[in-house]
Amino acid sequence: MIRVLFVCLGNICRSPMAEAVFRDLVKKKNLQHIIEIDSAGTGNYHIGKSPHKGTLHILEQNSISSEGMKARQVKEEDLGNFDYIIGMDAENIGNLHRLARYNKTGYIGRLLDFVPQGKVDDVPDPYFTGNFEEVYDLVKEGCARLLDEIILKDLKKEEIQ
Ligand code: 4NP
């Protein structure tokens, strides 16, 4: 099993969007029995809340399920339990490294690091910009590249149908 955790600040805008988009891509490749997906926030402001209406709206527009998602805060043990801990921006990555201290963790990196020659490195926070379309396009590209990388690196040929 490969475990992927998407992380942003509030876990209501970007990381739930990435979780839903990535789950949709994984399902379309019939890899849902091999790849486990979750999301969390470094902050505790919105614990237990549903995703932001902007995130819900764009997912619905693109026929992607947002069922059952509730915000939670990232825990120290997540860092050892997940193989890929994917932050949306540099601040998330700094917070994740601080939480990890010197413990062994899965890979910690930014989503857009998987996009070669991308225009931006951080997924902008739509909670402040209001631009959920821009975020959706970046998240979609990043998730597609991340899945390509996981397939290439981690999955044995016979597991791919
Ligand atoms: P997210 O956006 O990190 O993409 O979920 C945010 C949501 C809420 C807040 C900040 C960012 N907040 O400060 O409440």
Nearest to 18 by CA among 115, 103, 101: 115
Q: Is the pLDDT of residue 158 over 90?
A: no
126 within some domain: yes
Interval 120-137 mean pLDDT: 97
Is 42 domain-assigned?
Answer: yes
Residue 125 has pLDDT above 70, yes or no: yes
* Percent residues over pLDDT 90 in the chain: 93
Residue 70 φ/ψ region, left for φ over 0, alpha for ψ in the -120 to 50 degree band, beta for the rest: beta
Query: The domain that contains 108 carries what CATH number?
Result: 3.40.50.2300
User: How many folded domains does the chain comprise?
Assistant: 1
What does DSSP assign to residue 49? P
- 89, 135 Cβ separation under 8 angstroms: no
Is residue 152 in a domain? yes
Atom of ligand 1 nearest to the CA of 16: 5
Q: Is residue 161 part of a domain?
A: no
Residue 55 scores a pLDDT above 80 = yes
What is the mean pLDDT of the segment spanning 41-52?
98
Q: Burial, 33: exposed, middle or buried (Cβ in 10 Å; 0-12, 13-18, 19+)?
A: exposed
pLDDT bracket for residue 118 (50, 70, 90): confident
Q: How confident is the model at residue 159 (pLDDT cuts 50, 70, 90)?
A: low
Which one from 13, 110, 125, 143 is the annotated catalytic residue?
125
* Closest among 9, 1, 15 to 143, alpha carbons compared: 15
Q: How confident is the model at residue 24 (pLDDT cuts 50, 70, 90)?
A: very high
**Domain presence at residue 124:** yes
What range does the domain containing 100 cover?
2-156
Q: Is 9 domain-assigned? A: yes
Any residues with Cβ below 6 Å from ligand 1, and which?
A: 8-14, 41, 45, 125, 127
92-128 burial string, b = 16+ CB within 10 Å, else e? bbebbeebbeeeebbebebbbbbbeeeeeebbebbbe
| Catalytic hit among 14, 78, 89, 110 | 14
Four-residue CA torsion sign, 21, 40, 109, 158: negative
